[in-house]
Chain A
Amino acid sequence: MKSRICLILVLVSIFCGVGMAGAALPGPTEQLRGTIDRIIETLRDRSLPRDEMLSRVSVLVRSKFDFWAMSQRTLAVNWNRATPEQRQRFVALFSQLLEDTYRERIGSYTYQNEYVKYISEKVEGTRGEVHTIVVANNEIPVTYRVRLKGQEWLVYDVVVEEVSLISNYRSTYNEIVRREGMDGLLKRMEQRIRELQAANKKGSAQ
């Protein structure tokens, strides 16, 4: 009898332990590191055709970035004024614009043993920051601002050398909205995407 109780206790404690381990989410650094490592791996893999490499990186990036939150932060006040349709259009266009921009840049890049140092992380409730240093020719501090969504820490802003990159977009985009309205901004974004895609097509055709 006693041994049975013991056994139950042991089992319960094991299950509790397992349960608790399962409940403890991997922290933002851990989650981000996984994705970044896979991105580096993809970039390193010279056997991949360029288009394949680009789309793999794109999948990885999209899995970790919260374009919805980023769009809100970019539009700020104007997000609240926009209609639901405009918001959705904006998120779709914004993420596409970012992706096409990066496609254009990544084309000429070759991996040269750059790596990432993870310095520290800060978590407050559902928001956090992951501080890293990218070591290339020189060291560039890059901070990822992340938010917890369900089980996942998703990036909603990137700060390179103390400057939030979203804030750059924000200033320009809101100025355009002020002058030309939300629809004017969306049109400009569409036009820009078209031109980038035309340029990228030319680039990959060569």
Chain B
Amino acid sequence: MKFHVLLVAFWCLAVARPGFALAAGEGDASGEPAQILQAAESDFPAREMDLPQDWSAGGNESEAPGKDETQPVMASEPVSSEDSDQTPDLDPRAYHDLVREDDADFNDAEDFTNGELAMIKVADPIEPFNRAMFWVNDKLYFYLFKPIARSYRVVPEPARQSVSNFFSNLGTPVRFINSVLQLKFQDAGTELGRLVVNSTVGIGGLFDPAEKWFDLERKQEDFGQTLGHYGVGSGFYIVWPILGPSNARDTVGMAADFFMDPLLYFKMKPLERGGLRGLDKTTDLSLDKDSYEGLKRQSLDPYLDMRNFYHQFREGRIEQ
């Protein structure tokens, strides 16, 4: 678990998805007028807000039965949670945050609703299909892939890391060719150097001395990024069964990368190749720290979050 989970305290989402080390910058302002806020702030009835009054009684854990009566009736929505009949406990300090806004000497007319606010817009014309596939993948994840990965965790982590390194080393052609296609010759050189070092000193790719000793970091490139680099738009969002989130551009990219996979050129039955791919994915899943579970638990709509993440993640990669 990385430390900035804590420092960034609340912003666990991005952290929880190390693969999604997002790199999308924020766009430009969308120019909303700033006066509304100022007007609104001054006439906030902060002391009449409909929060539970029972701040002092034991904080979050308090479940005094009488408390429900002082709380607003908000429970008419369908809920699946067991204690669905009560409004969630709100931290009293949330209330103080609001009150603080009424500081008499605080006269900050700044409007935080505008300025460098980028909205992620993803074309999703086949949303019903995508949502269905998202549902299928979700079930596959929890009832098939995750249990397999969990039992695989009996293998010590360093060993699994080596398996992961091995497959990553096999992915060098994809990254090398796409670096060249994007005329990133330095990156291509890095990838070549990594291949040489890790295949020899790193015993056939099981270890990663290239990064540890020579500071040669892996460059994430694939054909979808190459297309994006030359200005091809992402097209529409699509969720593939098993393969997961993608879009029109990256689907073409995946197909192209398929032919850069060295395993394809070994004498191997398709089933064997598939098995190795499965091992690769299972290894990565076993090394992952339950990031999908994390996303799901806190997300208001996991489908939308995943869609936005995927988009930002890919755009960020392309920009690099």
Beta-carbon nearest neighbor of A147 in chain B: B110
Q: Are B8 and A80 in contact (CB under 8 A)?
A: no
Interface check B162, CB cutoff 8 A? no
Taking CB atoms, residues of chain B closer than 8 Å to A56 are: none
Top 9 A-B residue pairs of the complex, sorted by shortest distance between their CB atoms: A114-B3, A163-B22, A98-B10, A72-B112, A193-B88, A171-B120, A134-B4, A165-B11, A101-B298
Contact-residue bracket for chain A: 35 or more
Q: Are A160 and B300 in contact (CB under 8 A)?
A: no
Q: Are A106 and B6 in contact (CB under 8 A)?
A: yes
Stretch of A3-11, A12-20, A22-30, A58-66 contacting B (4+ beta carbons < 8 Å): A58-66
> Given A161-B21, A171-B120, A176-B304, do A136 and B3 touch, yes or no (CB 8 Å)?
yes
Stretch of B39-47, B193-201, B258-266 contacting A (4+ beta carbons < 8 Å): B39-47
Q: Are B51 and A73 in contact (CB under 8 A)?
A: no
Cβ-neighbour of B8 out of A43, A111, A165 (below 8 A): A165
Interface check B98, CB cutoff 8 A? yes
CB proximity of B292 to chain A, nearest CB, Å: 14
Stretch of B240-248, B268-276, B280-288, B305-313 contacting A (4+ beta carbons < 8 Å): B305-313
Taking CB atoms, residues of chain B closer than 8 Å to A199 are: 297
Q: Are A136 and B300 in contact (CB under 8 A)?
A: no
Cα distance A68–B13 in the bound complex, in angstroms: 20
Contacting residues of chain A (43-92) with chain B, CB-CB under 8 angstroms: 43, 55, 57-59, 61-62, 65-70, 72-73, 75-77, 79-80, 84-85, 87-89, 91-92
Interface check A131, CB cutoff 8 A? no
Taking CB atoms, residues of chain B closer than 8 Å to A39 are: 6-7, 9
Beta-carbon nearest neighbor of B34 in chain A: A80
**Most A CB within 10 A of own CB, among B21, B91, B97, B294:** B97
**Most B CB within 10 A of own CB, among A87, A164, A197:** A164
Beta-carbon nearest neighbor of A54 in chain B: B60
Taking CB atoms, residues of chain B closer than 8 Å to A69 are: 112
Cα distance A142–B14 in the bound complex, in angstroms: 11
Q: Are B110 and A88 in contact (CB under 8 A)?
A: no
Q: Are A87 and B8 in contact (CB under 8 A)?
A: no
Q: Are B1 and A109 in contact (CB under 8 A)?
A: yes
Cβ-neighbour of B301 out of A43, A66, A115, A176 (below 8 A): A176
Extra 5 A-B pairs, beta carbons < 8 Å, given A95-B94, A142-B7: A68-B97, A105-B16, A106-B6, A127-B110, A134-B7
> Given A75-B113, A109-B1, do A197 and B89 touch, yes or no (CB 8 Å)?
yes
CB proximity of A35 to chain B, nearest CB, Å: 10
Contacting residues of chain A (115-162) with chain B, CB-CB under 8 angstroms: 115-116, 126-127, 134, 136-137, 140, 142, 147, 149-150, 156, 158, 160-162
Cβ-neighbour of B82 out of A87, A110, A149, A198 (below 8 A): A198
Q: Are A105 and B88 in contact (CB under 8 A)?
A: no
Contacting residues of chain B (1-54) with chain A, CB-CB under 8 angstroms: 1-16, 21-26, 30, 32, 36-37, 40, 43-46, 49-51
Cβ-neighbour of B120 out of A68, A116, A167 (below 8 A): A167
Q: Are A168 and B77 in contact (CB under 8 A)?
A: no
Beta-carbon nearest neighbor of B72 in chain A: A89
Binding site for A on B (CB under 8 A): 1-16, 21-26, 30, 32, 36-37, 40, 43-46, 49-51, 59-61, 74, 77, 79-84, 86-91, 93-98, 100-101, 103, 105-106, 108, 110-114, 117-120, 294, 297-301, 304-305, 308-309, 312, 316
26 A-B pairs (CB sep. < 8 Å): A57-B9, A68-B98, A68-B100, A72-B37, A72-B112, A77-B113, A84-B43, A85-B45, A87-B44, A88-B44, A93-B88, A95-B91, A96-B88, A96-B94, A104-B297, A104-B298, A109-B6, A156-B112, A163-B24, A168-B13, A171-B304, A187-B77, A188-B301, A191-B77, A196-B297, A196-B298
CB proximity of B320 to chain A, nearest CB, Å: 9
Cα distance A133–B205 in the bound complex, in angstroms: 30
Contacting residues of chain A (162-190) with chain B, CB-CB under 8 angstroms: 162-165, 167-168, 170-176, 185, 187-190
CB proximity of A202 to chain B, nearest CB, Å: 10
Q: Are B84 and A194 in contact (CB under 8 A)?
A: yes
Taking CB atoms, residues of chain A closer than 8 Å to B114 are: 76
Taking CB atoms, residues of chain A closer than 8 Å to B44 are: 84, 87-88
Taking CB atoms, residues of chain B closer than 8 Å to A191 are: 77, 79, 81
Cα distance A156–B110 in the bound complex, in angstroms: 12
CB proximity of B281 to chain A, nearest CB, Å: 22
Q: Are B299 and A172 in contact (CB under 8 A)?
A: yes
Taking CB atoms, residues of chain A closer than 8 Å to B101 are: 68
Cα distance A168–B14 in the bound complex, in angstroms: 9
Q: Are A162 and B297 in contact (CB under 8 A)?
A: no
Cα distance A198–B14 in the bound complex, in angstroms: 23
Cα distance A164–B82 in the bound complex, in angstroms: 34
